[in-house]
Structure 1
């Protein structure tokens, strides 16, 4: 697989973009005309830089609105094209993209379009250049890849073929199966982009909301399967117009982009039964094994865990690390002088094959992470998530092995909390959200679940749940408005009796997050709860939700640094997260933060 990317996907100047593409592992680039025009370097200097970086120039993109016009307009278009062909000669680019006419076309006749593209191809041939013709989804007369192929067939030039773009095909709902009917020798280029499902005009959708593969709702695995079965042998290239990616760090975005291509290719190969022995399959997690909290002073976190009813599981025999357990829920506290405020540092997952999980992660671009161990310590393969969080894996058959590293633990069965980690709630800044979605899909093999927009004190908060199909692992990702402060992350522990857990915590002196009386008046109006039960909820600051499948009760601890805890109980087959209560929680936390 050869990989390529359009420079329009990235921020910065052309030289910075090229360095970032090479560092990320791309084989080639599509150079946008606007990037070259704005560069102080000459085409010859850009050509030399690409050669030093090991990048091929796979495509040049300067030509728009060429075909379907009157003879006078076409003559001027041909003059314009020859000037760009001369630039391409200096640049060392041998293929140019020609998009279907969206602005100046006046003749809806495929014969005219074929004749003019043929003449354009003849001029390009004088410079050793091939033309890849692409049907734009908003093209004036040509907006379907099948129409573009028809015109290319009519023109019948050796250096004229088609460019397929997943956005232009899938955004219009065109069936990609027809790609397999195109002459493979005429499949000149492939551009890939994902996108969310949006109800808006296709031009704005394309220009502002494309995503890297795996981050949207397009079925790119099926699309790419059709392209590969058709006989395409060129590079897999990304063309993603996105306002966020044009503002984020160029090196990180390029690495993110390359990871998306590797994930898509691996997924497509597996979907077609063409298993590659060098590519380990993904390892869906069975459960959250532990959550690691780090900080320079974790005494307040330990106090909360003790008040909740966690048992002290002992201190690590060689490190400043302590273990607290509540049944199957394990919290590892790592205290380091320069670690700052308490925060979630790592997440451990149990999988069938921990080493295979890491191999798969590294194969699609995850960064391996070193874990300091001593003789006798468990081996936990580790990588870093894009935000720096450590991801650890342990094989299901040896999930308890690392626990033996902790000594001096105590158990108080009489008043202990027993539960499992129900979900983790992870807040992310606006420019890291899509990258995290791709990581959770590609590396952790989680599926996108429900998504909702929730009202917060600083605007709407977008919540996207990523989960295993059986719900044993759930990550709720929150995207706050760009100007809002980043929310703390939290760990939700599921218990069988949340009322008993709340009463135990109160007896131990743990202050719960105060919930306003207006919330309980609203609960009474919505659900018609009896007075005794409503009084109990109010007294214990419990939140409540109910649907046709069951109900959900939960409460929150105070926030310490950048982390807090939630204790939840699911009754019946309730599968949500109490979303209707989230605005109340966010305001209550903001009130507490503000004093």
Structure 2
């Protein structure tokens, strides 16, 4: 289906927005009036530019506070509307959005509103323009799409129909199934937005916190299914008011936005009868990852990480036969240390490898979703890995088998270890890529997002989002550091599962490993909160172990010191414990800050 996006969803000038939308691959845009009036190009020039870029101008908006008023004010409103229609005509746009009245309405009457929309339709017809009436979720009298349609039907004018906006429907908890009662030729336009589940006034929620499809809590595939069931053939258009997107690079945001529409069409097609599916974009079908294959740490000098891994019981698996890259393993966990093209770089998580059922299919899907390709020189004798760059710059790789391990030479035999594998990977996110990252991992790899959390730290709240496969074989944590003066270093970490975390901590300390020091106050609290016996608490205190419990089981873990921007965590899940020890995160953040990690640089 035709794709479109409201210019209000992007940052920059109107001309910059149009270029970004065209470059991303959108078919059209809905033009936000403030973008035009703040631009120094005439409507005719904007029309010509859009034509050269291959973009249709699908909608001009918004025309506000028109209906539900007394006759004196309505006369003035018709004058305003005429000016708007004249501008739309100059732009070559034949559809104008009319919002339900939020400010000046004084008459709560379907008949009065319908009569005024009928007369507005008469005026619009003189300009060969149609008006799409939209119920705003905070409309003074009309805040429900069903009432908006009832009023438009009463108006009974060929130039008057409705605009459906997923935010205005779903934010109020309205049942979208009644959309199917609206004739397709009376649904003049469709606007789509996702949003997080928040408890706040709906106007602020709408103006600051909308998201692209796939990033929030709304059932947009279900919503779109109801619209398409009517036979609607118009554009699928994104209207996303979001403070982050209006501050970030419009080219990047436009690609992000189109990716969300491709995901939404694919998800909706899975629900749809064959009659709709021919009009929806579909993606290559893939299955989620079955586990982690490796984590890569990159630096100009990785020797300090090598020492830490050896102290923690990892075995050197050899050196790559053509590259300055080494492999370390413990159980099923593999850590790659990469010194290639890493001048002046300190240790950091550079890449994550995933095991997938069909690497070729995953590569096709990533390409269809416009995921940037991660490039690395590969020789004929080496395994080619599927590769993409996540929004934060982390390179993601995927394989169906791990033949690449055979490219490492002169490794030692694997030693016995309580380490089992990689439990989860924590990737610190720049504030401007967080929502994009959620969509990336959802759409490309089929991970699901848990409810976001906020963790208190010494510099403010850390926003945290858990992403996982249904069977928990792959868990990713996306963390955003708080906004504070200067630039704080937000470390990343790799968590390894193990069968005996106490024994591992003892052995690591005996080998000289430096574990993150935990304050004594924590253990006094631990004893009181969980009722642990003194011997257990003393063991945890001695080894700097942390503890948590939920309804399914308990969790014991420890952290290493940070090297560069990377530290390791070792965890033991007992029973069916499902979390990450979130209540212990403030203790960890404070301890790291005391050790000089994540402090403010001015």
TM-score under structure 1 length normalisation: 0.97
The yes-or-no answer on 1:370 pairing with 2:371 is no
Is this contact kept in 1: 2:382–2:404, CA < 8 A?
yes
Is this contact kept in 2: 1:467–1:473, CA < 8 A?
yes
Is this contact kept in 1: 2:299–2:344, CA < 8 A?
yes
Moved more, 22-31 or 359-368: 359-368
Partner of 2:307: 303
Q: For 1:50 and 1:564, how far apart are their aligned partners in 2? A: 50
Following TM superposition, by how much is the alpha carbon of 1:434 offset from its aligned partner in structure 2, in angstroms?
A: 1.0
Is this contact kept in 2: 1:308–1:417, CA < 8 A?
no
Partner of 1:411: 413
1:122-181 Cα deviation digits (max 9, x unpaired): 111111111111111111111111111111111122221110000000011111111111
Partner of 1:95: 95
Is this contact kept in 2: 1:135–1:168, CA < 8 A?
yes
Is this contact kept in 2: 1:514–1:541, CA < 8 A?
yes
Partner of 1:434: 435
Partner of 2:402: 400
409 and 388 in structure 1: CA distance in 2 versus 1, 3 angstrom threshold: same
- Partner-residue secondary structure (3-state), 1:346: strand
1:181-231 Cα deviation digits (max 9, x unpaired): 111111110000111111111111111111111111011010011111111
Partner of 2:471: 470
Following TM superposition, by how much is the alpha carbon of 1:283 offset from its aligned partner in structure 2, in angstroms?
A: 2.6
Runs of 4+ with deviation above 4 angstroms = 273-278
382 and 140 in structure 1: CA distance in 2 versus 1, 3 angstrom threshold: same
Q: For 2:517 and 2:164, how far apart are their aligned partners in 1? A: 56
Is this contact kept in 1: 2:418–2:500, CA < 8 A?
no
Is this contact kept in 1: 2:418–2:499, CA < 8 A?
no
**Counterpart selection for 1:388 from 369, 393, 403:** 393
Following TM superposition, by how much is the alpha carbon of 1:33 offset from its aligned partner in structure 2, in angstroms?
A: 0.7
The yes-or-no answer on 1:507 pairing with 2:510 is yes
Q: After the TM superposition, which residues 245-324 of structure 1 pair with which residues of structure 2 at under 5 Å, given as runs?
A: 245-272=245-272, 274=274, 279-324=283-328
Q: For 2:235 and 2:534, how far apart are their aligned partners in 1? A: 66
- Partner-residue secondary structure (3-state), 1:367: coil
TM-score under structure 2 length normalisation: 0.96
Partner of 2:366: 361
Partner of 2:356: 351
Supply the RMSD in Å over aligned alpha carbons: 1.5
501 and 279 in structure 1: CA distance in 2 versus 1, 3 angstrom threshold: same
Following TM superposition, by how much is the alpha carbon of 1:548 offset from its aligned partner in structure 2, in angstroms?
A: 2.9
Q: For 1:94 and 1:490, how far apart are their aligned partners in 2? A: 54
**Counterpart selection for 1:566 from 562, 565, 569:** 569
> Number of aligned pairs?
591
Q: After the TM superposition, which residues 15-414 of structure 1 pair with which residues of structure 2 at under 5 Å, given as runs?
A: 15-272=15-272, 274=274, 279-336=283-340, 337-338=342-343, 340-395=345-400, 399-414=401-416
Is this contact kept in 2: 1:292–1:333, CA < 8 A?
yes
Following TM superposition, by how much is the alpha carbon of 1:578 offset from its aligned partner in structure 2, in angstroms?
A: 0.9
The yes-or-no answer on 1:9 pairing with 2:21 is no
1:363-418 Cα deviation digits (max 9, x unpaired): 122122333211221121111111221111111xxx2311111111102525x453
Is this contact kept in 1: 2:392–2:430, CA < 8 A?
no
Q: For 1:328 and 1:137, how far apart are their aligned partners in 2? A: 52
The yes-or-no answer on 1:497 pairing with 2:500 is yes
441 and 576 in structure 1: CA distance in 2 versus 1, 3 angstrom threshold: same
Q: For 1:339 and 1:84, how far apart are their aligned partners in 2? A: 57
81 and 384 in structure 1: CA distance in 2 versus 1, 3 angstrom threshold: same
- Partner-residue secondary structure (3-state), 2:595: helix
Partner of 1:443: 444
Is this contact kept in 2: 1:166–1:194, CA < 8 A?
yes
1:421-475 Cα deviation digits (max 9, x unpaired): 0001111122221111111111121111243221101111122211111111101
**Counterpart selection for 1:576 from 579, 582, 589:** 579
